[in-house]
Structure 1
Amino acid sequence: MDGEVGRAGSGGPAGRVTVYSVPGCPHCRQASARLRELGLPLCEVDLDRNAELRPRVQELTGHGAVPQIFFNGVHVGGNEDLLALAPEELQRLVRMVRDKPVPLDVLPLPGEEPEEGEPRDGEFECERDDFADMIVGFKRSGVIGRHRRGLREWQHAVTGEQLVHWLQRGQGLDRSEALETAKSLMERRFFNPVSGTGQFEENSTLYRLVEHPRFSLNAGETAECSPVMAAELSEALRHLILKLYAEHLSPDGKSVDYKAMSQSPSFQRYCDLAVQLQRVELHALSREEKLAFFINIYNVLVIHGHLRLGSPQNVWQRYRFFNYVSYLIGGAVFTLQDIENGVLRGNRKGVAQLMKPFSKSDPRLQVALPNAEPLVHFALNCGAKGCPPIKTYTAKDIDRQLRTAAEAFLENDSACRVDRAKGEVRLSQIFKWYKVDFGDTDEKLLNWILNHMGDSPKKSSLEEVLNAPCYKVLYMPYDWSPNTTD
């Protein structure tokens, strides 16, 4: 079939196949590879960059998932729909593209280049901080050392007195200037007190450079750029890591070559950029800004963790991965568990956690959302057969974006299956693990799902099941297998 369908006419096809996709989507990659085998003109439209097209594409297709495929103006559906086409129907569509031009009333294609003023993938303007050279000199001064307080020893620390003395001796400042400079270094988050928070004091209080502890994936280096807006930095990081991910995704979309990705020069640029998270300002973020920022950071941190540490292979390795893979953000360490359960779920216990992530005295609690946001579970990772059509979340339209991601997730049978005859609903383990976020009872859970589904036969079936005198909720096994190449 492929040989017959794949031969284009000598004059070249008159039409085209259009695929609406997002970077790093495995099912988009599978569909594009299949379509290229057919020898037809293929135009891929990135809905991550061309966000203005998302509502129109969803209106035309009735789906929030990607890819969405059009032969000229005929909507075929997603990757599974393409693979399920009967041979005769596929041949008809290919002949149409060969023989007929694209209708005038189809959705126009965007330009390939970003509009003027629009940032390119991974582009970030670093304005060097006025104090950066001073910090570099301080690190080389030999003042940083070990200090014992009671039974505990603090490494990489300096007292307030030592810092002021170094500023006087090493920078030629008088005492009042040195004291004001030390306070400025604290305000600009170059230093943290080793315990608690507060103003800088010229006494025996211990301070450390914010780039410690070194176990965070973006620690150990000085963030030399002036502090930037959190949303701007997270979006730049997200675009760059997605570009890397897409470049190393296999043609069939089933695996990622993490080893090659970790050796890419683009990955080093990403690591340099992630260092700047150390000093971003978090406390002034609105609810919408926090959602967008921490969802984006969680997703890039997962990929960064895979690149540095490899993919977890068992329960213990997964526990360690999510509890130890971390970034230094705004002067504090945030693990994957901290971001998901501490910030985005309003400081609720996570899976296999005995306590809440943040204690009442933890300064990170000030960053946490006041309440859990259930929709984040469909944005933190693309675990469904059709990925959400949004890879970078923005504060401006975050709630609509999250609802779209939920609809895309629920469209797939890997997330939700409804058997009307048996009165059964089979759900992803996500709904079992975080059931409290969706109402904590089967009835509330299913009503939540119903209210977040797009119009579809599956939604109608779920309504019938809910109206029945009894029904059963079951949970499908979760596929933890890594998507890396050998």
Structure 2
Amino acid sequence: MANSESRVAGHVTVYSVSGCPHCLQAKAALGALGLPVCDIDVGHDDALRTRLQELTGSSTVPQIFFNNVYVGRNEHLQNLSPKALQRLVHMVREEPVPTDTTPLPAEISPESGQRNARVLAHTASELTEALRNVILKLYSGHLSTDGKSVDYRAMSESPWFKHYCELTVQLQWAELISLSGEEKLAFFINIYNALVIHGNLRLSCPKTMWQRYRFFNYVSYLIGGEVFTLQDIENGVLRGNRKGVTQLLKPFSNNDPRLQVALPEVEPLIHFALNHGVKGCPPIKVYTPQQDIKGQLHTAAEAFLESRDGCMVDGVKGEVKLSQIFKWYKVDFGGADEKLLNWVVDHMGQSEKKSQLKSLLSARNVKVSYLFYDWSTNSTD
């Protein structure tokens, strides 16, 4: 009979030191699950230990990854809920480890263990609010005033970034079902934008279409016992489980537990809040569920449509040039050009541009084209 591990697509990576009791306990627990373990001894390799610290923010061992999803130290493994552990085991059994990506951690520090018990006692709303407040602090010192550029180098050295990473470890225990619709919308927008930055800091900014595809399909957090990639958050949760630009299938199947936290239907306004780490995107902001989240998103849409990156109207040529965002997600804005343009008019602020567009629509003589999209990184460097 073939070894059961031969049928497992992925594996668990454990960074350890020979003779470490916590490492031995973790590997014994993983062995009992029947999962293949890639044991990497960092005890006699200073360069590897330095890389481990860069990946996780800590040189403490063991450090454990299920495929490319960071779980943490031995105590984090032992304290996983049965649901979270089941999902991780299933992922390792069914999905291979991406060959061209590095595991992306949500960092923790050696002293953060004592915080865990306190955070675990918090509600999901309290945890998401704590994350929002830390993200605000982080952005205030390292974003340009218009929210379009990020000082990645300085941010990576910020104590607020370290604190943010500590909090993201606690996301694995968050009960997302308890969040209201407004809280869920703000939480997933904020965590998406922060996860893009986290990924850029740890893996470097993707530069080619293939690198971007891999980045958005594998950079992930463990949230509420489920793995959420950037694609899962954008297309599965915020777009009401619609296929993405490069996807052949919906992100979540009918029996996928993550479907429970997906929005009941697509919210087109999210496209003016999500930032993919490039210059063509709308600016990065932090959204607050207690302050009319839809109103905040409407304001973001107005600002983007007023900018030259979002919309340009040529009354003489009878032409409207829109961001490529409207082309990629045209179905979210009604599908046909007429419905798309009516959506744009309805979400523009009072301006000369809006008046020109309304005149063109009234004359039923308007051509739609799409602007150049700037894929260069939004780094200030």
TM-score calculated relative to the size of structure 1: 0.56
Deviation at 1:240? 2.4
1:273–1:474 distance in 2 versus 1, CA, 3 Å: same
Letter of the structure 2 residue corresponding to residue 434 of structure 1: Y
Equivalent pair of 1:384/1:412 in contact (CA under 8 Å) = no
- Check conservation: 2:190, 2:287, Cα contact below 8 A: yes
Deviation of 1:241 after TM superposition, in Å, equals 3.2
Q: 2:322 aligns with which of 427, 431, 437?
A: 427
Amino acid at match of 1:319: Y
Q: Which residue in the other structure is 2:53 paired with?
A: none
Letter in 2 for 1:481: S
1:247 alignment partner AA: G
Query: What letter matches 1:192 in structure 2?
Result: K
In the alignment, structure 1 residue 294 sits paired with structure 2 residue 179: no
Relative distance call for 1:253 and 1:377 in structure 2 (3 A) is closer
Contact 1:234–1:297 at 8 Å: present in 2 too?
no
Aligned to 1:217: 105
User: Match for 1:307 among 182, 195, 201?
Assistant: 201
Query: Where does residue 470 of structure 1 map in the other structure?
Result: 365
In our comparison, the structure showing a higher alpha carbon Rg is 1
Aligned to 2:29: 144
- How far did 1:396 drift? 4.7
Q: Which amino acid aligns with 2:378?
A: N
Matches within 5 A, 1:175-214: 190-192=81-83, 195=86
Q: Are 1:351 and 2:248 matched, yes or no? A: no
SS of the aligned residue for 1:144 comes to helix
In structure 2, distance between residues paired with 1:191 and 1:318: 33
Q: Which amino acid aligns with 1:412?
A: S
Q: Is this contact kept in 2: 1:438–1:444, CA < 8 A? A: yes
Aligned partners of 1:238 and 1:300 also within 8 Å: no
Residue 121 of structure 1 corresponds to none
CA displacement 1:376-400 (0-9 Å, x = unmatched): 1011129679848x52332551111
Contact 2:146 2:283 in 1 (8 A): no
Q: Which has the higher helix share?
A: 2
Amino acid corresponding to residue 405 of structure 1 in structure 2: A
CA–CA distance in structure 2, aligned partners of residues 402 and 253 of structure 1: 15
What is the DSSP-based 3-state SS (H/G/I as helix, E as strand, rest coil) of the residue aligned with 1:293?
helix
Q: How many residues align?
A: 307
The structure-2 alpha-carbon separation of the partners of 1:295 and 1:193, relative to structure 1 and needing over 3 Å to count, comes to closer
Which of 316, 324, 341 aligns to 2:218? It is 324
1:273 to 167, 170, 185: 167
Contact conserved, 2:236 with 2:251, CA < 8 A, in 1? yes
Partner SS, residue 146 of structure 1 = helix
The 5-angstrom pairing of residues 147-186 of structure 1 reads 147=32, 153=35
283-292 or 136-145, which deviates more: 136-145
- What percentage of residue pairs aligned between the two structures are identical? 58
Letter in 1 for 2:221: Y
Letter in 1 for 2:327: K
* Deviation of 1:275 (Å): 1.1
For 1:395 and 1:253, locate their aligned partners in 2 and report how far apart those are by CA, in whole Å.
22
Deviation per CA, 1:32-65, whole angstroms, max 9, x where unpaired? xxxxxxxxxxxxxxxxxxxxxxxxxxxxxxxxxx
Kept after mapping to 1: 8 A contact 2:280/2:374: no
Shift in alpha-carbon separation, 1:331–1:475, aligned structure 2, 3 A: same
Kindly indicate whether the alpha-carbon contact (under 8 Å) linking 2:132 and 2:190 is maintained by their aligned counterparts in 1: yes
Match of 2:48?
none
TM-score scaled to structure 2, two decimals?
A: 0.71
Show CA shifts across 1:90-133 (max 9, x none).
Answer: xxxxxxxxxxxxxxxxxxxxxxxxxxxxxxxxxxxxxxxxxxxx
Q: CA RMSD in A?
A: 3.5
Measure the CA separation in 1 of the matches of 2:226 and 2:308: 39
Query: For the residues of structure 1 that align with 2:324 and 2:274, how far apart are their CA atoms?
Result: 15
Residue 359 (structure 1) shift: 1.1
User: Does residue 292 of structure 2 align to residue 401 of structure 1?
Assistant: no
| Deviation of 1:277 (Å) | 0.9
Secondary structure of 1:327's counterpart equals strand
Q: In structure 2, the residue corresponding to 1:425 is in which secondary structure?
A: strand
Paired with 1:360 and 1:324, the residues of 2 have a C-alpha distance of 21
Per-residue CA distance 1:255-310 (angstroms, 9 max, x = gap): 54323321233321221111111101111222222111111111111111111111
Structure 1 segments unaligned to the other structure (5+ residues): 1-135, 157-184, 198-204
Separation in 2, partners of 1:141, 1:385? 42
Unaligned runs of 5+ in 2: 1-20, 39-75
Secondary structure, counterpart of 1:300 in structure 2: helix
Which residue in the other structure is 1:341 paired with? 235
CA contact (8 A) 1:288 1:396 kept: no
CA distance in 1, matches of 2:189, 2:90: 33
Partner of 2:59: none
After superposition, the Cα gap between the structure-2 partners of 1:206 and 1:450, relative to the gap in structure 1 and judged at 3 Å, is closer
Residue 57 of structure 2 corresponds to none
Q: Which amino acid aligns with 2:297?
A: L
Letter in 2 for 1:478: Y
Deviation at 1:468, TM superposition (A): 1.6
Q: How far apart, CA to CA, are the structure 2 residues paired with 1:253 and 1:446?
A: 26
1:239–1:392: 8 Å Cα contact kept in structure 2? no
Partner of residue 415, structure 1: 310
Q: Offset at 1:215?
A: 3.6
The 1-side partners of 2:312 and 2:323 are apart by 9
Name the CA distance, whole Å, in 1 between partners of 2:162 and 2:261: 29
